[in-house]
Amino acid sequence: MKLLHTSDWHLGRTLYGRRRYAEFEAFLDWLVQTIEQQSVDVLLVAGDIFDTTAPSNRAQQLYYQFLCRVAASQCRHVVIVAGNHDSPSFLNAPRELLRVLDVHVVGQSSADPADEVLVLRDRQGAAELIVCAVPYLRDRDIRQAEAGESIEDKERKLLEGIRGHYAAVAELAEQQRQALGEAIPIVATGHLFTAGGQTVDGDGVRELYVGSLAHITSGVFAPSFDYVALGHLHVPQKVNGSEIIRYSGSPLPMGFGEARQQKSLCLVGFDSADGQRLTCVELLDIPVFQRLERISGDWLSIQARLSELQEAGADSWLEVIYQGEEIIADLRERIDELIGDSALEVLRVKNSRIIDRVLSQTREQETLDDLDANEVFARCLDQHAVTAEQRPLLLDAYQEVLRSLHEDDAQAQ
């Protein structure tokens, strides 16, 4: 039997205002082809199918078209659990209809853990896989709030609730396996943040629970699980070095911090002679559907890299971070002029010479609250040794910004 583990599609996500439907569509087309080429029997999607709880019509269209195409393939089952970005009620709404297509959706945890224990059967009706389809466990699902409890109490209850939930579904799954009297593998899903999990800057991954508990240890997963398919972290990785507890990672780079990261899926194989024996976990590299690149440095290095990309005919989306000492008031205009009519697109320009460097000049016991807006800007000019010739133009521009802000505040009131 072959399982394919994926997660964190984030259908509908934008990047600095740029819609990415073409990328999502290209990925889902590739995924259908991969399922067919690899003769995948079961597809597991470990949460964050959509980027928001109210996905756009286009995002929904991509989702349902994909499910119909997989249902028409040799893939026998699709198991989908909700992530923290998903709406449980939205995912659950069509689940009875989708079940006819052998698409099993678990949008939220219920009072009965048996609702999350699925016995999947082959075309002859024989049980072939047990899935503990655990979705993102929301605070209210696993902890009862009490008046006067401390942060430590909340954290302890959250950890106990998560551990208890996985123990309950694992026990039910083992009972099912014994009742069937066959060596059937048990697979679990999860959408959570494990201890030691790797993230990258700008990936949008956030803590899931109040306090410091957000990172769960691998000890919450029962030894009876033959494989654990996790979602939430966008970097493909093992948990605590385990071959059988993994994050597949997101299929697309969610931000420029992931631009150089090789995205992948986990192809999991079980031996037909002994269903419980995991034979291999293979990473399948996902192609790049839209190249992203972060360019940083002084103007000369930025200029050189932009010229290289232009000469190569690249069609990358770019984030440019200026880190030079010279103040360049027309940075965006220079960049636009340099790339001209090429296929390059700059989605973001950031000047790292920002106000936090001014605070290094503050005097002892002085805070930002002690300075007014003009004093902060004057410190900024001093910090960067701006010449007297440059100051008048910058001061005029700064005053115009302040006036605009004050006018907006007045209109709002």
pLDDT band at 103 (very low <50, low <70, confident <90, very high): very high
To the nearest whole percent, how much of the chain has pLDDT over 70?
86
166 and 300 belong to one structural domain: no
**What gap in Å lies between CA 279 and CA 326, rounded to an integer?**
58
Query: pLDDT class for 210, splitting at 50, 70, 90?
Result: very low
Write down which residue in 260, 285, 310 finishes a domain.
285
Same domain, yes or no: 299 and 276: no
Same domain, 189 and 326: no
* pTM for the whole structure: 0.81
pLDDT at 139 (0 to 100): 81
DSSP one-letter code for 41: S
Residue 272 neighbours by CB distance under 10 Å: 10
Give the pLDDT score at 374: 78
Cβ contact 250:10 at 8 Å: yes
Q: Are residues 321 and 255 in the same domain?
A: no
Residues 149 and 92 in one domain: yes
State the pLDDT at residue 157. 81
pLDDT in tens, 148-193: 677 777 777 888 889 999 999 999 999 999 998 878 999 999 999 8
Please write the tens of the pLDDT for every residue from 243-253. Answer: 999 999 999 99
pLDDT of 368 > 60? The answer is: no
What is the residue range of 218's domain?
A: 2-285
Q: What's the pLDDT score for residue 387?
A: 84
Nearest Cα neighbor of 326 from 301, 363, 290 is 301
**Are 157 and 216 contacting, i.e. CB atoms less than 8 angstroms apart?**
no
Query: How much of the chain, in percent, has pLDDT values that exceed 90?
Result: 61
Tell me if residue 130 falls in helix, strand or coil.
strand
* Residue 69 sits in the same domain as residue 193: yes
Per-residue pLDDT band at 369 (split at 50, 70, 90) = low
Summarize pLDDT for 220-247 with one digit per residue, the tens. Answer: 999 999 999 999 999 999 998 899 999 9
341-367 pLDDT, tens digit per residue, is 899 999 999 876 544 454 455 555 555
pLDDT of 54-64, one tens digit each? 999 999 999 99
Task: Identify the band that residue 201 occupies on the pLDDT scale cut at 50, 70 and 90.
Answer: low
Question: For position 269, which CATH number holds?
Answer: 3.60.21.10
Same domain, yes or no: 159 and 179: yes
At which of 266, 285, 304 does a domain end?
285
Least confident among 3-12, 159-168, 287-296, 389-398: 389-398
Cα distances from 185 to residues 104, 131, 178, 240, in angstroms, run 18, 9, 11, 22
- Residue 205, pLDDT above cutoff 90: no
The residue among 223, 255, 285 that closes a domain is: 285
Structure token pair of residue 246: 């993994």
Taking every pair of Cα atoms in the chain, the longest distance, rounded to a whole number of angstroms, is: 85
Query: What CATH number is associated with residue 306?
Result: 3.30.160.720
Average pLDDT value for residue range 312-321: 94
pLDDT at position 413 is 46
Do the Cβ atoms of 76 and 120 come closer than 8 Å? yes
Half-sphere exposure in the Cβ direction for 307 (13 Å, CA): 7
Are residue 119 and residue 267 in the same domain, yes or no?
A: yes
How does the average pLDDT of the chain come out, rounded?
Answer: 86
Q: What is the number of domains present in the chain?
A: 2
* 201 and 331 within one domain: no
Provide the pLDDT confidence category of residue 196 given band limits of 50, 70 and 90.
confident
Q: Are residues 246 and 319 in the same domain?
A: no
| Residue 8: per-residue pLDDT | 96
Shared-domain flag, residues 278 and 328: no
Q: What is the pLDDT of residue 181?
A: 81
pLDDT digits (tens, 9 = 90+) for 276-309: 567 789 999 999 999 999 999 999 999 999 999 9
Looking at the structure, tell me whether residues 18 and 161 fall in a common domain: yes
pLDDT at 146 over 80: no
